[in-house]
Every structure is written in structure tokens, then in C-alpha cells.
Structure 1
Amino acid sequence: MDPEEFRRAGHAVVDWIADYWSTLDARPVTSQDPPGTVAAALPAGPPTDGEPVEAVLADLDTVIAPGLTHWQHPGFFGYFPANTSGPSVLGDLVSAGLGVQGMLWATGPACTELETRMLDWLAGLLGLPERFHSSGRGGGVIQDSASSATLVATLAALHRASGGRWRDVGVDRRYRAYTSTQGHSSIEKAARIAGLGDDGVRPIEVDPETLALRPAALRAAIEADLAAGEVPTIVVATIGTTSTAAVDPLPEIGAICAEYGVWLHVDAAYAGAAAVCPELRWSHAGVEYADSYCFDPHKWLLTGFDCDAFWVADAAELVEALTVLPEYLRNAATESGAVIDYRDWQVPLGRRFRALKLWFVLRWYGVEGLRAHIRSGVALAAQLANRIRADDRFEMAAPHPFSLVCFRLRAGDEPSAALLARVNATGRVYLTHTRVGGRYTLRLAVGSPQTRAEHIDGAWELLRTTADSLLAEETPTR
């Protein structure tokens, strides 16, 4: 494919994406086909001779698109948002075209320096402490996901807690991590990979009303481990838990971590984006205690996956924990100590030029554009929550400080599960579920830039009328 062929094909692909976005509202949110449909439509092997891009795009229309769950759909309310945008796609396109391998400053100086500056921009945008800025001992880096950020934070915490010995002799299973019972599953996975084992994570009980970690329970767990000769190593506090978007009390947790010398990592994967709005920064009170912090622009900040922003207060601890320098990577810039080599800030060696899509997004939308996006999601979620409260067949299952609404039917678990199954089967919306206090709970997460008031109106009407039918079926005829 020479440059002119690429130009022609590229225009066709961009047109296809634009047409896809413009027709999303008319598509079912989830695939209506049974498992195996896409695989059955694909040839057993590649073509003998090359095919034009038009043939590939035709199969995108007839084979691939019908088999998708459309995460950018205005009726997609499942999990958390995973939104992209035009500027993000264009930034990714440029990154792919450049094909930069940014493992070292020397292999892509602009790749490294743009990333450093973008993480400083983001830190300022969220109002994060100065110690996370690159002008001091700390700084930021783009990870692929919050899961990787948790793993990297765990490794750095182990390095500190062991005085660096874990790299030489391994982990002796005495090191302990702590998080609430509502913490993300990636915390347990990070403990496994780091060598702490399944028993290395202490689940800390939460307040039954707020669903946030109880500081007194954390202190008790740390003191019990110390008395047993264990080594409290890392606490993972969450701003916006996966099930309900609960916010752990960072001021109290941070003070406990400081008292006992335990690394504090703050996982704000979903809700961190809310801090672009000054009125929502209450959720970040106490973040100044954190040794590391992360959030996902690829969730609620219009930047396509994968893009997790991760900061540390002391970059030297992270680099000491992760650096490996074989001869073939040695170079004058690294030896000078004047540059950042982001390979030492992550688990993989290789890394893409992901800062470009952040740069495109931040410049296209600007601060006020991003704030408008966040505020829209919060307002739409509040409208839905008010309707739920006004209908005595429903009840709220948790507070809704951001754009996630958790609710259920008062009639119980089985009717609530049936309600979810029926509304999802229509293809008009897609919701997911969790359990709150042991009870089946529906989750509706607003975040798509295409979601407007009429989509929330439609989702509520669907939920309301489906509940009507469902509950009428369960009411015995007199």
C-alpha cells in the first residue's frame, strides 16, 4: 500500500467510522445473533491474493458490526463508560502511522516529552497535589489500564517495604495488601502476580450506608498483622468503586497509612475524571496522602482505550523497583540521567505513543468542553435517580455522587433480575448488575457523549413499562 493507496483507503475508513457513529442510535446496543455467528461467517483461512479495502469494509458492515456490543451507543449504560471521540481516534491514527516505539527517551524523544507534559496537564486539570508533577520528585506515566497501575504500585510498595530485598530473594508471603470489600478484582490479581498470594489481600469491611471502607477496621487489620509479624505493605483506596461508585474516606485512610508507613495507592479509575469539575473535587479530599494515584481517561474523559493516567509522588522508588538495563538498551541519554525512560515505569518494555490521543482530546475540547461532558453525565444520572425515587415499586440501592445509578425492584431479587434480562433483550439499552448488601441490583452508568436527555427518558420508560408487565404477571388473579 503506497502513500496514495493509503490516502484513498484512509478516507474510506474514516467515512465508514463516521457513518457508523451517525447510525448508532438506530442499531441494537448488543448483538442479536447467537454465539458462533461471526466465526461461521469468516473463511477458514486468509485469501490467496490481496483484496481491496472496499471488500474489508463490506464485511465490516455485514459480519463484524452486527456481532458487536456497541460501547459508543447512546443506550449503552453497562459497566462504566469506555468512550472514545473523534479527536482521540485521530490521535490514535497518527500514533499508528508514526509507529514509534517509545520504550526509551532515545527511541522517541517527542513521545516521552509529550507524555510527561500531558500528565502534568492532567494533574493540573484534576487539581492533584504538586508532588505528582514532573517538576518535583514525582511524575506521571500512561499505563494501559488501572489494573496495570495497581500492579506497578504494588511492586513499588513491595520494594519500599522490603528495602529492595524482594528483587533478590522474592516475596516471603509476609507482605500484606489492604482494600475494601468493594475494591476492584485487579487488586487481588496484582497480589497474585507480585507473589503475595491469595491470602495476601486483607478485605476491609465497609460502612453499610456509604459502602466506603471503614478506617477503624483498616487500623485493626494493620495492627493485627503487625502483631502477627506480617508486613503491612500497601493500601488501595478507591474513589468510585466498581459496584456502586462509593468513595473511600481518604483523609482518615491516608493518616493511618502515614502513621504506619504503608504505601497508599488511590484507584480513581472511573470517578477520577469527575475532578475536572471543581464542584466534584470533594471526592479527592485527602489525595495528598497518596504515594500513587490513577484514573482512566479511557472511561469518562473521551479518550479511547487504552489510556490510564498513573502518578507517583517519588519516581525514584518506582524506577528502582522496575529497572532492568541490558547492554543493548544502554545509550548516552539514559546514562546522562537527564531524561525519563518510561520503560522503567511499567511492566512491559515496549510502549505506544498514547500521549498523542490525550493531546488531541485536551486541545480539541479544552477544559470547559471536558467539564461540560462530565456535568452532563452527572445531571442525566440525577434525573433518572429522581424518577426512581418517585416510583414506589423501585428503590435506590446506593448513593449516586457521579453518573452511576444503582437501583432495584422492591419486589426482590428474582423480579429485579428478570427486569434486567427483559430490558436488555430489547436491544434498546444495555445495563449490568451487581449485588449491594447481598441483594440483586441494577446498574445504569451514563457516559457516552451521544447520550442525551431523550435517551434517559427512553430508558426510564422502558424500565417502567417492563416493570408494569413483569409485576402484573406475578400478581395472582383474584
Structure 2
Amino acid sequence: MKTSKKSFLPLDIVSLKDESRVVIDFIADYYKNIEKYPVQSKVEPGYLSSMVPDSAPYSPDSLEDVLNDVNECILPGLTHWQSPSFFAYYQASSSNAGLLGEMLCSAFNVEPRFLIDSLSSNPEYLENAASNSNVVVDYKDWQITLSRRFRALKLWFVIRRHGVENLMQHIRSDVSLAKKFEGLVTEDDRFEIVVPRRTVLVLFRLKPTHGLGGSELNRKLLDAINSSGEAFLTQGVVAGIYAIRCVVGATLTEECHVQDLWSLIQEKARILLLQYNP
């Protein structure tokens, strides 16, 4: 029996180089157009099942077809945490916290002995360290600011590739935007800051009014904000007070996004309050 001399190549180097460029372009275009997507997905649960074929293709599909499916099927079901209007964070794991803290302490010339719980209770030291290193940070908030974007094992590469100067500038920018948002909240008598801002974290709420408890009112407000698809915030409870949490940390966030977020919050609050005081 005659057999084919053509060998199957699981990895074709030429195709890998060409297709890698196509994928990189796809990712770049995604970031370029990310603000066109709702921050939080609006599709119904199970939507994908009707879009998936009953069986895998016998012959491989082209990369173009695969990427078209990603655009049409996958992206509508995502919450786009890379969006500049994603004002939330994922907590760093404790297993990564030590290495992350040690790297950052080394980069910013902050003594590692201040990593422990006394750090947050020693604001004078933090202010001095921040002034000396020209960056305002707190170890616990380093975790908040960086945990979504950096994994501990990749952090050193990031520092080497972008430099400590740029990393500090990025953190300073986030802190500045958080201060801007805090200022906008304090200018509106309908709102209040629940606790003082912690670097990039602002907890605020719509004041209780018209016999409505603060928790019920702010849950409704948060739901209205997130369901709009224009921004994404989370909630927190501090000393029994339900608050809305805004965290500035997305790589693409600029001042215009903070201003747009506040305009959205004000509009949703106006509509909500009109329901109880027409």
C-alpha cells in the first residue's frame, strides 16, 4: 500500500510567524475599539449555546474565521475589565502579596519591615516615604492598584521593560484621577464620601432621602450604573454602611473617563430620586 510522504506538522514556523502578526493586530484593534463595547455584558445566559456548532469541524478553519467568531460570539459575552470605564478591582492573592510587596519595596526604596499590618496605621511614615520616592503609595493599595494588571512572577519583567519611573508615573496618575473623582463627589450635596480616600479607592454613597435607607437607594443606583454598560463599579460595606466603590486602575483610564463616570452617576441618581420625589 502506497503511503503519503507528506508529514503532519503540528507547528509550522512560517504559519506561526504570519498568524502571530494577525493575532497581534486583532488584539491591538480590540484595545483601540474597546470603548465601543458595553463594560458589562448584556447578553442572556446560555446565549452561546445556540451559536456553537454541534460538532467540531473535520478540517481546520482559517484563522480569519476563528477571529470572526471571537468578535461575534465571544466578545459580546465578556465583561471588559480592560475598559477605561472599569472602576473596580480584583483582590491580590495572599500567595502573591509577599513577592509583590518585596519587589515594589525594592523598586521604591521603602523598607520591607513596614509590609506588615502596622503599615496602614503609620501614615506619617508613608507620607515621608512617598515624598522621598516621589510616589504616594501604601502597600495594601499597591496590591489593589497592581493586582489586576500584574501577576507577581511578571512584575519584575514589567519593571525592567517600562522602568520604575514610568511605573511610578502610572501610579501617580491613578491617584490623581481618584482625587479628581473624590472632589467631584464632595461637590454634590446629594452624595457623601463614606470613608477618606485610600490612594486609588473611593467609597461613596447617595445620601438616604425620602424615607429610603441608604442601602436600598445605593443598591438601586449601582444597578442602574452597571446595567447601562457605560461603566462598572462594585460595592462594599464599611461599619455597616453600604457604599459604592470606585477604584481607578485600568491602564487606559484618563480624566475624561472619570468625568464621564461622574456624569453617568449624577444622571442615574437624578432619575432614581425622581421616582420617589416626582
Distance 1:276 1:401, change over 3 A: farther
| Cα distance in 2, alignment partners of residues 428 and 37 from structure 1 | 21
Q: Note the residue ranges of structure 2 that are not aligned, 5 or more in a row.
A: 1-10, 93-98, 124-129, 209-213
Unpaired stretches in structure 1, ≥5 consecutive residues: 83-115, 133-235, 240-246, 252-273, 285-292, 309-353
* Residues 29 and 70 in structure 1, CA contact (< 8 A), matched pair in contact too: yes
Residue equivalent to 1:54: 64
How do 1:381-460 and structure 2 match up within 5 A?
381-411=178-208, 412-460=214-262
Match of 1:368 in 2: 165
Partner in structure 2 of residue 4 of structure 1 = 14
Query: Which of the numbers 175, 178, 196 marks the counterpart of 1:378?
Result: 175
1:300 aligned partner, one-letter code:
T
Cα separation, partners in 2 of 1:454 and 1:294, compared to 1, 3 Å? closer
Choose which of 117, 124, 128 in structure 2 pairs with 1:237.
117
Among residues 289, 292, 300, which one is paired with 2:145 in the alignment? 300
Question: 1:14 corresponds to which letter in structure 2?
Answer: I
Supply the AA of the counterpart residue of 2:136.
Answer: L
Contact 1:276/1:371, CA 8 A, preserved across alignment: no
**Partner secondary structure for residue 398 of structure 1:** strand
TM-score, structure 1 normalization: 0.47
Question: Which letter does structure 1 place at the counterpart of 2:205?
Answer: R
Q: Hey, what's the Cα distance between the residues in 2 that align with 1:294 and 1:456?
A: 19
Aligned partner of 1:449: which letter?
A: T
8 A contact 2:178–2:199 mirrored in 1: yes
The 3-state SS of whatever aligns with 1:33 is coil
Q: Which residue of 1 aligns with 2:111?
A: 129
Report the AA paired with residue 237 of structure 1.
Answer: D
Alpha-carbon deviation of 1:402? 0.7
Percent sequence identity is 33
Aligned residue for 2:38, secondary structure, equals coil
1:277 CA displacement: 5.2
Equivalences for 1:182-193 in 2 at 5 Å?
none
Listed one character per residue, the Cα deviations across residues 401-428 of structure 1 (whole Å, up to 9, x for unaligned) are 2111100111222111111111111111
Higher helix share: 2
How many pairs does the alignment contain? Answer: 251
Contact 1:413 1:439 in 2 (8 A): yes
- 2:59 is the alignment partner of 1:38: no
Deviation of the 1:79 alpha carbon: 3.0
CA distance in 2, matches of 1:386, 1:426: 24
Instruction: Give per-residue Cα distances to partners, 1:313-371, cap 9 Å, x unaligned.
Output: xxxxxxxxxxxxxxxxxxxxxxxxxxxxxxxxxxxxxxxxx44x642x22332122111
Q: Tell me, in whole angstroms, the C-alpha distance in 2 between the residues paired with 1:44 and 1:76.
A: 35
Where 2:83 maps in the other structure, the secondary structure is coil
Aligned amino acid, residue 47 of structure 2: T
> Does structure 1 residue 77 correspond to structure 2 residue 59?
no
TM-superposed CA distance for 1:51, in Å, is 2.0
RMSD: 3.3
Structure 1 pair 277/16, CA: closer, same or farther in 2 (3 Å)?
Answer: farther
Superposed, 1:255-270 pairs within 5 Å as: none
**How far apart, in 2, do the equivalents of 1:427 and 1:25 lie?**
10
User: Does the 8 A contact of 1:397 with 1:407 survive in 2?
Assistant: yes
Tell me the equivalent position of 1:465: 267
